[in-house]
Amino acid sequence: MTLVTFIFVVIVFRLFSLQVAKSQWLTSKAAEQWYRDLPLQAKRGNIVDTNGLVLAKSYSTYDVYVKPNRVNKKEEVAYFLSNTLGLSYENVLTKVSNTLVSESLIKAQVDNITSKKIIDANLEGVVLSENSKRFYPYGNMLTQVLGFTTIDNIGQSGLEATYEKYLKGINGYALEESDVNGVKIDNTLSRYIPSISGMDLELTIDANIQLSLESALNLLMIEQNPASATGIVMNPNTGEIIAMSTKPSYDLNNLPRNDVETLLKQARNISVVDVYEPGSTFKVLTTATSLEYGVATINDRFYDPGYRIVDGQKIKCWKSIGHGSQNLIQGLNNSCNAVFVDLALRLGKDRLYQSFANYGLGTQLGIDFIGEASGILMDKDSAKNVDVARMGFGQAVAVSPIQLITAFSSVINGGNLMQPYFVKNISSNGKIVYEKSPTIIRRTVSEKVSQTMRMMVEEVVKQYSGFNAFIPGYRVGGKTGTTQKYINGKIGDSYIASFIGTFPADKPDYVVLIIADEPGGNSYYGSIVATPYAKLVIEDIISYKHYQSNNLQEDLKKVEKNVSMPNLVGLDIHSAAHMLEDLDLQCEIEGDGEVVTEQFPAPGTQLSHKAVVLLKCI
């Protein structure tokens, strides 16, 4: 009797477990046995520029499946599919013959023409499921910004990855009732759950200006032969990124997936995720900070013999013979290292580091892009006077290009550090569900200092090293930069050349940054290697946006080619420099020698006044 009672209790407990405790799980398992589904992948949302031009979209493709238990003529089906889809007959036959599974994927993302051939063949047991594939109408434009997706349409890099949850949509399913072998049961209902397309992104990018930037960088790559070239165009008043590119790049429709090293290297958005020593472009920030804290005025005078001694170390000016006596405006125009050593030491470590924080250096700006770099700042407590001195002219500090252009923008836009961003709004079925507004992070300088800085950077272009960005009839400001790279902790023989410019100089609408890493041409100076290509972009903007010129005839006289380049090879550097100065020409000096060994351009070349030439003294 006890045994019977025990068995009865066990049976009751088992029934309770099956019918109550595990009922939901068992129902789910039963559904898996009786229902077969094919996924209906959602289309990713479109990405468009600020004018509505499509930069990334999806188009319909089809995944080809086979249901082995429905296929009677397996060899014929395998032969047709392998020929039509360009697959191995043996591999297809194996899948067609495997009756232990309900369905097998033969090939994903088959185009419409091929899919129609399969549909028209009316093969028993072969079914197609709608899918989608990403397409980039402009090919290799915005390679690093847009990024790309996996073959399964999952955002893998760039904005495709950053905004994955908005772009991906919700997949649907097609379900049908089948027996245990996967064969559809006649006279049963199928269920169709449609997919929901992803949301659309409207970017701050202007495709017309982006194409101009891409063209300028391509030309830079050809003429200057750098390891890479990077450019950004920003609206300084809002933080909107108008254009951004890095070369070399690849066609987003033809990714080098079989070359992972190239894929990953060229997919890096250097403008956002990498850092570099900015060199002389950083002097704009030091100048503005010095004016803001009142440690200098534009009329202060500085004497440069070609170097400064700090903590017993000799810090050289790029011009080994020195710039002599000059005021602050001339110091920025001449890009004199000695002046900026003095300014940094006047500011002192505390105020200098506070300015770094104000400009957003050493921290993320919150740009809507995965992998934003914070920059690299030396630990404040470890920084010595000589380190502070070098920071004043853009060494011993590393920033990302987006940090530099954002900080520079604050200096010339009235003093507001704006948060940079790519996405203007997100919409679903034409209805905007999110809209980004310009965001002020903090103030960096006063309006008065900003006004002074606009004047000073315009002088750099009108009179000095930035003259290669001068455009007759238009007001352009800017600053050149040349940085010697560190390799394994030591200064090497490689350089970074750059130029950051603003237009119109008096009331800026655009800031343009061009960076050439390790140029391999005749020069490595920013005035020669980077500045002319920023000028090309600004000229295109002038034409595209229909800016009107002023003082055109007067400005044209400044660029008339009426100065003949003299032969300076063999002269001592002092005599050569004075001869160029008398001709109203400017020079960049390479090397510490006393005698000119090479010059660029060649003797007899016709130049305009204020043109920049290169003298090598090696």
Q: Count other Cβ atoms within 10 Å, centred on residue 73.
A: 13
Per-residue burial over 488-512, b if 16 or more Cβ lie within 10 Å, else e, is eeeeeebbbbbbbbbbbbeebebbb
E strand segments, 49-205: 54-66, 104-110, 126-135, 172-177, 191-193, 200-203
Query: Is 290 part of the annotated catalytic residue set?
Result: no
Which secondary structure element, helix H or strand E, spans residue 424, and what is its range? strand 423-428
Angle at 532 between CA 529 and CA 533, to 5 degrees: 90
CA distance 324 to 272: 39
Q: Which of 129, 178, 245, 280 is catalytic?
A: 280
| Interatomic CA distance for residues 181 and 34, integer angstroms | 9
Supply φ then ψ for residue 278, to 5 degrees.
-75, -20
Place of tokens 């023409």: 113
Asked if residue 275 lies in contact with residue 398, where contact means CB atoms within 8 angstroms, the answer is yes
Determine the length of the chain: 618
Q: What is the rounded distance in angstroms from the CA atom of residue 173 to the CA atom of residue 171?
A: 7
Query: What count of other Cβ atoms lies within 10 Å of the Cβ of residue 543?
Result: 11
How far is Cα 560 from Cα 539, in angstroms, rounded to an integer? 18
The sign of the torsion formed by the CA atoms of 292, 298, 301, 302 equals positive
Torsion of CA 184, 187, 188, 193, to 10 degrees: 90
Instruction: Please work out, in degrees rounded to the nearest 5, the angle formed at the alpha carbon of residue 582 by the alpha carbons of 577 and 584.
Output: 95
Instruction: Quickly list H helices, 179-298.
Output: 207-224, 260-267, 270-273, 283-293
Contacts of 2 (CB under 8 A, 6+ apart): none
* E strand intervals along 332-401: 376-377, 397-398
Instruction: Tell me the one-letter amino acid at 520.
Output: G
- Is residue 527 within 8 A of residue 514, CB to CB? The reply is no
Q: Identify which of 457, 537, 519 has the alpha carbon closest to the alpha carbon of residue 483.
A: 519
Helix axes 337-358, 283-293, angle to 10 degrees: 80
Structure tokens, 104: 């097998």
Question: Mapping DSSP to helix (H, G, I), strand (E, B) and coil, where does residue 602 land?
Answer: coil
Q: At 508, which amino acid appears?
A: P
Q: How far apart are CA 14 and CA 43, in angstroms?
A: 47
- What the block records as the tokens of 40 is 């209906």
Peptide bond into 236 cis (omega under 30): no
Residues with Cβ within 8 Å of 164's Cβ and at least 6 positions away in sequence, in order, are: 154, 155
Paired tokens of 205: 């990018």
Q: What is the DSSP string of 205-238?
A: --HHHHHHHHHHHHHHHHHH--SEEEEEEE-TTT
By annotation, the residues acting in catalysis are: 280
